[in-house]
Amino acid sequence: MSKVKTGIGRRSFIKSVSFAGGGLLIGFNWLACKRPNEDGVEEMVLEMPEEWFEINGYLKIGDNGVVTIYSPNPEIGQNVKTSMPMIVAEELDVDWDMVVVEQAPLNTDIFTRQLAGGSQSIRQGWESLRTAGATARQMLLIAAANQLEADVADLTVDKGVISHKGSDRKLEYGEVAKAASQVAVPEEVELKDNNDFKIIGTSRKNVDGKKIVTGQPLYGLDVYKDGMLIAMVVQPPAFGMQFKSMNADEVKSMPGIVDVFTIDTYPEDMEKEWSDTAAFSKLAVVVGETTWQVMQAKKALNVEWELNPDLVKKMQILEKSAGMDGTSGLENTNIHATLMAETGARNSEVVRRDGDPEAEFKKASRIIERTYTCPFLAHNCLEPMNFFANVTEDKAELLGPIQTPEYAEKSVNKRLGFELEDIDIQMTRMGGGFGRRLYGHFLVEAAVISQKMGKPIKLVYSREDDMTNGVYRPAYHVTYRAALDENNNLTAFHVNAGGIPESPLFANRFPAGAVDNYLAESWSIDTNISVGAFRAPRSNFIAGAEQSFLDELAEEMGKDPIQFRLDMLKRAENDPVGEKNDYDPARYAGVLEMVREKSNWGKETSNVARGVSAYYCHNSYVAQILDMSVNGDQPVIHKVTCAVDCGIVVNPDAAKNMVEGGTVDGIGHAMYSQMTFKEGEPQHNNFDSYRLIRHPEAPKEIDVYFIENGIDPTGLGEPPFPPIMGALANALYKATGKRFYNQPFINELKSGVKVKG
């Protein structure tokens, strides 16, 4: 066991659990006991206690032993609403069937990092969640010892039942909960040894599972309140344009329409949070009684737009620097490609240099050089952006899907002028996030609209609004070069990476540290188009490009692609170059060795093409092997084998689901998806033209294996996403005999590539 300082006080847990006009508790109640139903089948039935006793900010215990555990972080499908309470329940030593899980509201007095992003929820919450459970367990033991007139050391607990070693006396948690709630919080507690885990490491069903499959209210779009109006926004059609005028009075007379007006979400004098990223601040707003009525009014609204002179001037300067005359300042995809190709060659910053790579390239017998690109991408969450807001004179009540509630609270504080304690943000489950809901402009918009109307409203984006609003994955461009000597040995490695408007470069990741002479350069280009974090930011492109290049390099050197990587990692482990390498070569090699074994690498059948890839990001390591064939111009993915090192796996089934989901997601985006622009206007505004992966195109089988090393949990939501793109590209080459350098790969596959063999 290990001892930790508790640091947990007895502050009030929930600032407000209800909304004006009626109570609304956000969460799903796990069923507390099993009973046979009418058909004689045993099922879980909820029996709530008559009285609850709060032990600490993470949990409360009822007089019948039922335990409510609050899940602090936003739920975007990564299943933290199940796995985080599992960690608390483990140290509490309670029967999971006696646990009720509820979504905690935003409360910075109790919780830290109430944020869904960076695959950090479990990693950052690991110790605090365990400490909360262990603290409650210790307080219950102290209360039981007082009641039994025994020493705490003579008591044991199992599944919520406290036993006295020297007798047959037992007490259930519910019997001592009230007394425990009055016990002083111990200064330190002991955490369990990993070998003693009973809940962590076992598969538990999603606590929202029944509601999801039966269509019960869970999501922001499900929120309905008495007197609530529907609001929708109308935004400029192109990046670089702004609002000028509209026929508001004419539209106001339409059935069910309450008002039409404009808002400025972020006035120029407002200090913005990083999460306030938004392409358009000045918006037209239509408010009405029903969603359908508002949608019809939007269609009837004639808005006149004009060029934003500041944005036009900025882009004209950039375009003319690329030798383009007569530009409008509104961006085009073809101009993006030209800008990126020219900028990387002439305007790069050296981020890392080991040895003398320039000299090695000059004397190289052969130089291998390849360039890779990818387009902007829209997040396309299944549930479009939405938020409920009820802003009165003295309070702002907000409810909906947001990955960054703490930052959103600060934004509302600055925009509306309310004190933080007068802002109540509660979180619904999200129908997808992928980084899009890190940026809470839609929450602020809802608050501003509600304040102007003096009524509760639900802001709803249409799919078209959502897809053309920006906050895209940036467009990237990278060139790799490798120097080989007369014996075909790698002597120097050079990566030059950039994008619009950021670079995807991670200069200190593999193969840095494995090559004596290494050069990493970075650059970026400004843009009017708003961008933001997209699942596994930057890694989501650079991993696939790097792994594709390493495969091609291995072939040029006549080496097996897995062994080539392992040899480089062995060098990085035994004799590393430089001191800033941010990966563990042994763990990196471990997933490659596992995936090689589990996939029977080298024993594949002749009609299957295989590609391998491995990558480190978000503190975790993933290796994947993709088996495929190509039928005409259609890829057929038979199987993907995944090896993952993310430390302790809290909920194996949920973890497997995340790896499977990330794998399918990565294949889909690399193969099919792109956002293009013409005169600043997005060319895709719905799924009829923006291509996502379809069910028949997903892998027929995905095998997932986890390395068991007892290390504290690291990231998992994002790490499986980046490397699969490289495995896909490498498999496509094996199937067609052609290398794929530009995403989405389907464009090149449909351009007449002949299947190999």
Residue 295 confidence (pLDDT): 98
- The pLDDT tens digits of the residues spanning 393-449 come to 999 999 999 999 999 999 999 999 999 999 999 999 999 999 999 999 999 999 999
Residue 685: count other Cβ atoms within 10 Å of its Cβ. Answer: 19
Residue 230 confidence (pLDDT): 98
Residue 660: count other Cβ atoms within 10 Å of its Cβ. Answer: 18
CA dist 668 and 661 (Å) reads 11
Residue 340 confidence (pLDDT): 95
Please check the confidence at residue 20 and state whether its pLDDT lies above 80. Answer: no
Residue 295: its H or E element: helix 291-300
Residue 748 confidence (pLDDT): 92
Residue 310 confidence (pLDDT): 76
Give the residue among 569, 557, 558, 562 at the shortest CA–CA distance from 596. Answer: 562
**Cβ distance 509 to 588 under 8 Å?**
no
Q: For the chain, what percent of residues have pLDDT higher than 70?
A: 92
- The pLDDT tens digits of the residues spanning 705-746 come to 999 999 999 999 999 999 999 999 999 999 999 999 999 999
Please check the confidence at residue 497 and state whether its pLDDT lies above 90. Answer: yes
Pairing of strands 99-103, 155-158: unpaired
Give the residue among 416, 427, 438, 58 at the shortest CA–CA distance from 277. Answer: 438
Please check the confidence at residue 236 and state whether its pLDDT lies above 70. Answer: yes
Q: 3-state SS of the chain: helix, strand, coil percent to 5?
A: 30, 25, 40
The type of residue at 338 is T
| Length of the chain (residues) | 757
Mean pLDDT value across residues 360-373 = 98
- The pLDDT tens digits of the residues spanning 110-147 come to 888 899 999 999 999 999 999 999 999 999 999 999 99
Lowest mean pLDDT among 33-37, 102-106, 394-398, 464-468: 33-37
Residue 13 confidence (pLDDT): 30
DSSP state of 589: H
- The pLDDT tens digits of the residues spanning 643-653 come to 999 999 999 99
Q: For the chain, what percent of residues have pLDDT higher than 90?
A: 86
Residue 15 confidence (pLDDT): 29
Give the residue among 569, 573, 621, 620 at the shortest CA–CA distance from 595. Answer: 621
3-state secondary structure 653-715: HHHHHHHHHHHHHHHHHHHHCCECEECCEECCCCCCCCCCCCHHHCCCCEEEEECCCCCCCCC
- The pLDDT tens digits of the residues spanning 604-632 come to 777 899 999 999 999 999 999 999 999 98
Q: What are the DSSP calls for 253-284, one per residue?
A: TSTTEEEEEEEESS-TTSPPPGGG--S-SEEE
- The pLDDT tens digits of the residues spanning 671-696 come to 999 999 999 999 999 999 999 999 99
Look over the chain and give the mean of its residue pLDDT values, rounded to a whole number.
Answer: 92
Q: Distance from first CA to last CA of the chain, Å, rounded?
A: 60
Residue 9 confidence (pLDDT): 43
Q: Is the dihedral of CA 531, 532, 534, 536 positive or negative?
A: positive
Please check the confidence at residue 498 and state whether its pLDDT lies above 50. Answer: yes
Please check the confidence at residue 327 and state whether its pLDDT lies above 80. Answer: no
CA dist 500 and 530 (Å) reads 10
Residue 387: its H or E element: strand 386-391
Domains and CATH numbers, the chain: 2-214 (3.30.365.10), 220-308+385-460 (3.30.365.10), 541-749 (3.30.365.10)
Residue 100 confidence (pLDDT): 94
**Cβ distance 303 to 233 under 8 Å?**
no
Give me the torsion for CA of 52, 56, 59, 62, rounded to 10°: -20
pTM for this one? 0.93
- The pLDDT tens digits of the residues spanning 35-91 come to 444 455 555 554 788 899 988 889 999 999 999 999 999 999 999 999 999 999 999
Structure confidence at residue 346 as a pLDDT band (50, 70, 90): confident
CA dist 528 and 318 (Å) reads 11
